[in-house]
Amino acid sequence: MGGPTISVRGVKLRADPAREECFKVVHLYSELWRTVDMSAESQREKLHREYNTEVQGMEIAAQSLAEFPDAPWDLRMEIARQCWDESRHARLYVQRLQEKGGYKGEFPIANHEWTTTCVFETLVARLAIQNRTFESGSMDSMRKAVKVWNDAGDARTAEMTDSILADEVQHVRYANQWINRLGREDPKVVLQVATSMAQLRQMSAALRPQPGDVSVNGVDLVATPHASVRANVEDREHAGFSDSEITAVVKRQEAEEANRFAVTRLERVR
């Protein structure tokens, strides 16, 4: 268990998975491209980023099969299916990238999901972080991405995104089901999940952009707010989140949006 680790801003992370030399692998947001529009270049960057995200999803699932041979067989089957899904998703994104004139290695990449998730040494922690947190967050952003691609006149990428989103729902759902089941069977699991989530929050806080950080394409990462993303309530329901869990996400997102609005107004006053 466990593999080589690296330290980024004092945070211990799992060392990156293998990548071809054509990729520039980085670890900080300031070393990445930050997309703020739907220019042709930004569209390619989005597809390039999603491509690498899907590959990481496959790598995390595969690593769980390799590192946890004693996990319940039915759970391993879910994880094995996820490997195939993420492989197909990655192929879809790279095909679309190439159709738009892009290529592997066109933009820097970060393997944040892998380096964060795989530093945890229990399967339940990895399911809580990768499937239940990162992928459920993706469900929110992908629902928005469907609209963004449609608004940009790219119905094909919009349809592709929605198809991928439908697959992701099952990845979140099985994690929810198994975390609940394992938690009922062994109360220590509940504690493991809570501890890993607290640790994830600390890691995220340390790694997030700092004042003055600028992306490689010149975007001020703190001053430029992210476009707001609303909770994908319908798919969160499909994925087995409880009403109270969904309400908590909605309230948190509303608070973040209100905070962003206040900061933007304050900047204008200054």
Interacting residues with another protein (CB under 8 A): 17-21, 55, 58-59, 62-63, 65-66, 69, 73, 76-77, 80-81, 83-84, 86-88, 90-91, 94, 104, 114
Beta strand 25-26 pairing with 109-110? parallel
Smallest separation (angstroms) from another protein to the CB of 68: 10
Smallest separation (angstroms) from another protein to the CB of 55: 6
Smallest separation (angstroms) from another protein to the CB of 156: 21
> 72 or 225: whose CB is closer to another protein?
72
Smallest separation (angstroms) from another protein to the CB of 28: 22
Burial of 230 (0-12, 13-18, 19+ CB in 10 A): middle
> 92 or 182: whose CB is closer to another protein?
92
Strand, helix or coil at 152?
A: coil
> 43 or 82: whose CB is closer to another protein?
82
Q: How many residues does the chain have?
A: 270
HSE of 238, CA atoms in CB hemisphere, 13 A: 15
Smallest separation (angstroms) from another protein to the CB of 128: 20
> 104 or 260: whose CB is closer to another protein?
104
> 19 or 238: whose CB is closer to another protein?
19
Identify residue 166 by its one-letter amino acid code.
A
- The token pair at 21 is 């030399």
Beta strand 5-8 pairing with 11-14? antiparallel
> Minimal CA–CA distance to 54: which of 135, 133, 120?
135
